[in-house]
Amino acid sequence: VVIVVLFRDHNSKQRERNQYKQRKALLTTQSPPTVSLTVMAKYAYAPLQIDQNRRGNQGGSSGNNLSGMMMSSSNNNSNIPSQADKDDGNDQLVQERMPMCVAICVLLAIVFVLSKGSGDIDLQAQQQLQQQQQHSLRSMDTPQVGATAATATTATTTASGHHSEVYPKPGMVQQQDLVDMNMVPEAAPDSLAAASTTTVNTATIETPPVASCPDCPTCPEPTTTTTTTTPNILDDPNALMAKLRQDALDSTPPHIIECSSAEAGESQDACHLPKSERYTALGQKGATLWMTGCSGAGKTTIATALEDLLVKHHGKHVYRLDGDNLRTGLNRDLTFTEADRAESVRRTGELATLFSDAGVITLVGLISPYRGDRDLVRKRHEDQGIPFYEIFLDVPIDELKARDPKGQYARVDSGELKHFTCIDDPYEEPLDPEITLKTHELKIEESAKILLQRLEKDGILMGPPKVTPPGLPNPDGDLLVDLLVSPTEAPSKQAEAATLPKVLLTDIDLNWLQTVAEGWAAPLTGFMREGILLETLHFNSLLVDPFNITGNGDKLTTKTKFEDFNPHRPNHRVSMPIPITLSLTEFTKDSIEESGKQDVALVTRMGKMIAILRNVEIYENRKEEIVTRMFGAIDMGHPYIKNIYAGGDYLIGGEIELLERIVYNDGLDQWRKTVTELLQEFDDKGADTVYAFQTRNPTHAGHAYLMKSAGEDLKRQGYENPVLWLSPLGGWTKSDDVPLDVRVKQHEEVLKMGTDHPGGLDPASTVMSIWPAPMVYAGPTEVQFHAKSRRCAGASYFVVGRDPAGMKGSMEAVAHQDDDLYDGNHGRYVLQNSPGIEDMKMLSFVKVMYDVTDNVMKVPDESRMDDFISISGTKMRLLARNGAVPCSATDIPTDLVEANCIPSGFMVPDGWDLVVDYYKNIDNTTRWIPWSQPHVDPPAAEGTVSTGSFGFSTFAMQNVGSASFWHDIEYMPSAYKNTEKGIINMVTEIPMYMAAKMEVDKSSPGNPIIQDSNKDGSPRYYTYGTPFFNYGLIPQTWEDPDLKTGLFGGDNDPIDVMELGSTSLKMGSVTPCRVLGSMELIDEGEMDHKILCISLSDPDASRIHNMDDLEAVKPGYIAKIVHWWKYYKTSDGKDVNSLGSETPRTVDQALQVLEEVHHRWRSLCGLDGTRRTALSSHTDGFWLASQGCRA
């Protein structure tokens, strides 16, 4: 067995070519020597970066040139190196190179043994062929660019016994051109082989010479026998190396155990930082974009443009791999054979996998002509859970030849280059690439933008997991916020809420609760704690760590600490410009602290327990600081500033659990969609991007033009299906804004008209959804929140006009009275540069006018301005109030107000009719729904009937069983007159926890229960806290103003009663109640008695008979009652009330008061003979015509 190990020095190709020529000349004159066993004294397999000095003494300038050694060993018998040569070796070098040498020897032995069994030639021919192969191996030339797995060699034995070898003849240059990666040398060496397909070695073996025949005049010609043999891999070092590589790969275990935490054949992720944490910390995901296509298709050019976009504009980590940087180092040992091409793709794929696993967006630009090689790379990525995008640059050959930036296609056409991929070598097009780019039809920037949009769509440019549909941005904090408890949990949590301290929500608070609970203010999950409020006020943004990368995962949900800081700051900033806080009074604060509980129930003004606030934090409401930082203006007449100052002196923060979905029952709930529902609707429409248009006014054709133009512009940017979100403001607005229902119904007509009118919108590409948050009119600060909350619901673009969220200063403003508080240009500028806005983009309004030539709103043509007229918002409102009718389509006057007409193309007709109806009836406030306020059914008792809307001035409740709550119900229930003293009937006006101030109407027929009003006519509500008692009247009583207690007369109403039990009573119910005592409230110069009682059906009624019993059963309750009546009006800006006594009256004293006010009622009704004319003038207008009040 002859084992020969050859190593070529990559740095000595030219010298080897010369040696090749010398060996060839020598071998043509002599047979190769017999080599029994050659043991190589020097062996080298270490990488090229091993210091050349360590190999300098091993055989010449080329280091360890074993081809040279073999040449010398054939000319002398000293095959075993001397001791001095051994001493020159380095132990470290031996250790580095020995394993590969042994492996190669073993593999060659295997190849040799296998080759012994093949072929049909005789033994002599086999021996000759083996000698030829050994000789060929010793004298092998440098591997050839484009060489095949085997090289043709012809061995011939003549009749005379002479041996000769015919070596491959240097032929035409063969090379693969990678034009856009500069991988081809300018001139190929002449010695490079030109074969690209596997050829078969043919050994022509002549038979022994035929003996002379004396009878013949001449001898016959020698005959020959030709035998074809299987090519031997030893003939081609490139094929040999490919075989060795493949054998090594095949013998390598497919799964390496990287650490003790992992198992063989399983994922090794346990040995690494988890991808989710790595990607979240980096702010991007790893992915590989594999660009394949013919030479010159633009792979490197487009990859470079995309790299520029990602790095410079988006701040992402990107690296580009192509022939230049790969063949400089990693792939420098590879040629352009099919096997080496496959190895190049494999190595590049492995490198890309590692880069992408590390969070790098990896751009690969390789021709990679073979589909199978690319598919293996894809599978490798898929096995590792790494996104892989095959990008096919599909360009016609004619276009490639026309481009030909380096002249390679011209060389192919001239015949100078052969086996050129896509010309005379195959290129296997991808069957199902993720993206196909026809770069001959696209600009470079357009191709790069298509790739960028795909990365955005798939969430590659964000680190955390994508939680929204493809193409839509993640909400701030990268987590969807939906705080509604599940239906199965709701009953138990409702029961828990009943046991918790109660915090009152105003209707504006309810808007904010909806905003937070439905995810519009992500990542907030509750009302702001003090630290979060400070960040909002000072930075208009928050630092957050929702995935706990820096150990700050609970930052938003834990109580503020001012002395114990985490040493590591959160790693992500999100926009949060508007304080979202909940105020409470000292009364509520004390109630919470006295309860000893960390959670509270949130209760609407109608008494509904709507949510639980967990782990609460109470802190000072620094109103002036909030106002000045939030508004940057001093204007005590500003409507939202007034709202802030009207709040309590404390704020409460905590996390929300929404017990039931917030609905308003105003006929508009179909347009109120949660963030989750909106995202689903966008997905159902196939949106690849969403742009939001916020409305505070009816939509006219100018608005429609801007919205449609924005959609067309997005399509030009490469989006296929941009969806418009028509987003009317739904929360609280100031009183002179267009009501919500008018706007929404007008928008309905706009969608109904579709594209048949210039002012219509296509419903197929439009979604309308009410935005729930209140307006605060904070100009540049507020518009940031408008944009941020739309992004949380899926919008990538926000249309913003002049002076967004601004208003005129009031007459109380320090500056800008009756003038814009904010410069009209500031909002757009601040929004574009605000912190935490991320990649959301702004679409600005442009000025549009009405073109009378075609009845369309558009950007005016400066060359014919006489054809355009301006219709401002002020002019539109005036025309609507005047009931303007459509103008002639062919004769539109320049003075629309004088003609009292509106151009037909200005607004959809039915929408205009709605606007006219509103402005003509603007003063009838009961017709309109100004903003989102709950319309709920009253908690009514049986036997009652209601009209109007509960909580509004139109509401009234009648008693069906009797004509009047006041006059026709017994003062004391007859069933108890002879059994227990001090039992009275109570008519409930205000059930426990309800803040709507209700009272019996003394003037209307039937004396219904109605909504009490403030002096300005607005509904009146308790604002000091949730009433912890049931409140009502005792029928057949009257506090006569002429009856003086000291200096104060009665309040001219039925006497009030507080029921102090633990159960909420129904409105309009009549409840037998045991009198416990009374209080005397001096209110605005009147004596207002409050009878204290407990319902006989209350669980504690058997234990409570007087005020002492009450204090014993409910400690602190009396003090709580006293505090309430003294301070309950202070939250409305009024003074503290006075009490006739801080100590409640006894039962007997209370009964004396009751006897007196009952007697006064009898006088009022004339039941004791008193004539009406003898009564106070304060009774004028009282309705006394009920059966119980007649003499």
Residues carrying an active site annotation: 368
Cβ count within 10 A of residue 1181 = 8
Cβ–Cβ under 8 Å, residues 1091 and 984: yes
Which strands sit side by side in the sheet containing 689-695, from one edge to the other?
766-768, 722-728, 689-695, 797-800, 841-844
User: At which residue do the structure tokens 């003849």 appear?
Assistant: 169
Orientation angle between helical segments 237-251 and 91-116, nearest 10 degrees: 100
CA distance 573 to 523: 11
User: How far apart are the C-alpha atoms of 598 and 586, rounded to whole Å?
Assistant: 17
Q: What is the DSSP secondary-structure string of 1131-1188?
A: GGTPPPPEES-SS-B-HHHHHHHHHHHHHHHHHHHTTTS--GGGS-GGGTT----SGG
Enumerate residues 6+ apart whose C-beta is below 8 A from 472.
679, 682, 683, 687, 689, 690, 794, 796
CA distances from 1101 to 945, 983, 991 (A): 30, 12, 18
- Name, in order, each residue with C-beta under 8 angstroms of 586's C-beta and a sequence gap of 6 or more: 648, 649, 650, 1127
- d(C-alpha 840, C-alpha 809), whole Å: 30
* Phi, psi of 572, deg, nearest 5: -140, 135
By C-alpha distance, which of 300, 293, 297 is closest to 367?
293
Query: b or e along 17-46 (b: 16 or more beta carbons within 10 Å of the residue's beta carbon)?
Result: eebbeebeeebeeeebeebeebebbbbbbb
- For residue 214, give Cα distances in angstroms to 208, 210, 220, 222: 19, 12, 12, 17
> Are the CB atoms for 578 and 524 separated by under 8 Å?
no
Q: What is the DSSP letter of 263?
A: -
- State the residue for tokens 């440098």: 142
Beta strands in 765-862 (DSSP E): 766-768, 797-800, 841-844, 849-851, 856-858
Question: Which tokens go with 1073?
Answer: 């109640």
The secondary structure of 751-774 as a DSSP string is HHHGGGSTT---GGGEEE--B-SP
Q: Measuring CA to CA, which residue among 153, 117, 123, 122 is closest to residue 137? A: 153
CA dist 242 and 246 (Å) reads 6
Distance of CA 389 to the CA centre of its chain: 22
- Give the list of residues 6+ apart from residue 792 with CB closer than 8 angstroms, or none: 475, 476, 481, 519, 520, 521, 522, 675
Closest alpha carbon to 5 in 76, 108, 91, 77: 108
**Residue 1032 structure tokens:** 């009502």
User: Position 153: which residue type?
Assistant: T
- The rounded distance, in Å, linking the Cα atoms of 79 and 372 is 46
* Integer Cα distance of 1107 and 1121 in angstroms: 12
What is the 3-state composition of the chain as percent helix, strand, coil, each rounded to the nearest 5? 35, 15, 50
DSSP lists the bridge partners of residue 558 as none
Q: Are 1185 and 1005 contacting, i.e. CB atoms less than 8 angstroms apart?
A: yes
Sign of CA dihedral 584, 589, 592, 596: positive
The residue type found at 32 is: P
